[in-house]
Structure 1
């Protein structure tokens, strides 16, 4: 009997899963690189400026490529891009970088992984979207996992610093959730790649302007060479490249499956934190991580 050829969807599934997995792992490496850079006496303002300085040409090229032959942006479009760039990439990134100075990369990734629950809550507040009991259960499980890891870190080190870093990173997740909720209309109007390219370019310019306002321009010349190379790696491998990978994965397997595949992110961050940074790994961290991942899995399944 002749074999039946695989459908086009099947042929796209494998590459899509690979892209989504590699994108999640690359994204998760950002926290590791930031923690490594902090070992060389650099602050968050300078570090995020360097990351965005090197990422700006990549995102500007992305915006240009996606906008070829498309209508010019209206004034309303530009206002939306500016607002989304401020919330989703400038403020969220700065708060994340600042928080990483106080907490481990593992806790940071678990907090940011709560983003879908925040998007749902904002959707309920703004658009009165229904929340199911399954989603509430998933949220409860995930937040219990984060609290478990937070409690372990707070008792093992400086409680105030852990609390402050956790608050900063949670606010980063909130800021990015605002971007996710507000971007729906503009994604339809501009397309995802064009919107991401423009919004991230805006964020890059804001981070550079922040540095010029708060730090002497010449101070960047005294940054350790390791910080510069780490920032280049962060801007390319852990920022621009995974953005493209995830968008290409969504085109092939859809946002739901891409999100499920992204569950590899927290695990890879924890693994790299232990191997590269020498961060501790205990039963408490393992239990908290499993709770967060299980909760998000229940949450996403209940939302279908």
Structure 2
């Protein structure tokens, strides 16, 4: 009887973890939709990012204060530099480039390019840690980029000019985030995941607000209420909640399973873009998306086997 109850608890715990991972993936995916909807009111990327980070800041300040009480040891000078540098690179610069890119490309293409970060992380890790890239991973990466090419050429025929610039900006955003992931592993192990994330997000928030303050007059905040509503929704449903849901999912079902469930992200973005933005949904786009998903899953599974 006790074993049955224990098994039931494990099953429920796993189901909750799967649900949290799904909600986190969908929440992160909704960001592109909310950004595109806000751009309809002609708000610029600097202002929109500043609003998103400002609305998110109270939550992360609260987490930072909580984490500080949990960790009595202060950050070393080296860790402070790491938090500052990685916060600027991984959260501020990556988000800013992504917001800029969304001015020119579809939400579906943006999410697929962002989803390439595991392939970039493999290449960067190989360069930094002198690790060889296996033939399976190289084939998987080729499949990923072939899929991106299909979706890119689909959008090239349906969107106005600027798609090359937009795709390049989002690709640079993905590269920035990948560099952050490679560099953050050791820092997180020393500092703690919650404390590191909160501190890095506060750094990114300050950078966003300072950029807005130095480049925009205060009158730039005279925006329609709809923009503020979308920025608040972005902060809560596509920033704060997914971050915590993701951490809870990893705790319950592990990082490998969580990352695999996150593969639903590009699919949910494409579907939401079709519903809310009236973006096209063609066979070419579906085929390209399938190739990207297959390639990334192959890279992720191979990485798990290598670590094991």
Question: One fold, TM greater than 0.5?
Answer: yes
TM category, shorter: over 0.9
Partner Cα separation in structure 2 for residue 231 and residue 188 of structure 1: 32
Equivalent runs, 1:25-40 vs 2, <5 Å: 25-40=26-41
3-state SS of 1:157 partner: coil
Partner Cα separation in structure 2 for residue 250 and residue 185 of structure 1: 18
Partner Cα separation in structure 2 for residue 226 and residue 216 of structure 1: 20
Q: Give the CA deviation at 1:3.
A: 7.1
Higher mean alpha-carbon deviation, 284-293 vs 4-13, is at: 4-13
2:295 aligned residue = 295
Equivalent runs, 1:215-294 vs 2, <5 Å: 215-220=216-221, 222-294=222-294
8 A Cα contact 2:105 2:159, kept in partner: no
8 A Cα contact 1:135 1:300, kept in partner: no
Q: Give the CA deviation at 1:9.
A: 4.5
8 A Cα contact 1:23 1:241, kept in partner: yes
2:96 aligned residue = 94
Runs of 4+ aligned residues of structure 1 deviating over 6 Å after TM superposition are none
Cα 1:218/1:249, change in 2 over 3 Å: same
2:44 aligned residue = 43
**TM-score calculated relative to the size of structure 2:** 0.95
Match of 1:146 among 143, 148, 155: 148
Cα 1:218/1:122, change in 2 over 3 Å: same
Match of 2:83 among 56, 81, 84: 81
Q: Give the CA deviation at 1:69.
A: 3.3
Q: Give the CA deviation at 1:287.
A: 0.5
Q: Give the CA deviation at 1:154.
A: 1.1
Partner Cα separation in structure 1 for residue 228 and residue 106 of structure 2: 22
Q: Name structure 1 gaps, 5 residues minimum.
A: none
Q: Name structure 2 gaps, 5 residues minimum.
A: none
Partner Cα separation in structure 2 for residue 104 and residue 2 of structure 1: 53
3-state SS of 2:40 partner: helix
Partner Cα separation in structure 1 for residue 76 and residue 50 of structure 2: 29
Q: Give the CA deviation at 1:5.
A: 4.1
Q: Are 1:128 and 2:130 an aligned pair?
A: yes
Higher mean alpha-carbon deviation, 6-15 vs 277-286, is at: 6-15
Partner Cα separation in structure 1 for residue 67 and residue 270 of structure 2: 35
2:17 aligned residue = 16
Q: Give the CA deviation at 1:157.
A: 2.7
2:113 aligned residue = 111
8 A Cα contact 1:137 1:298, kept in partner: no
Cα 1:2/1:178, change in 2 over 3 Å: closer
Partner Cα separation in structure 2 for residue 67 and residue 118 of structure 1: 33
Q: Give a deviation string over 1:158-204, Cα, whole Å, max 9, x none.
A: 3x500000000000000000110000111111111111111011001
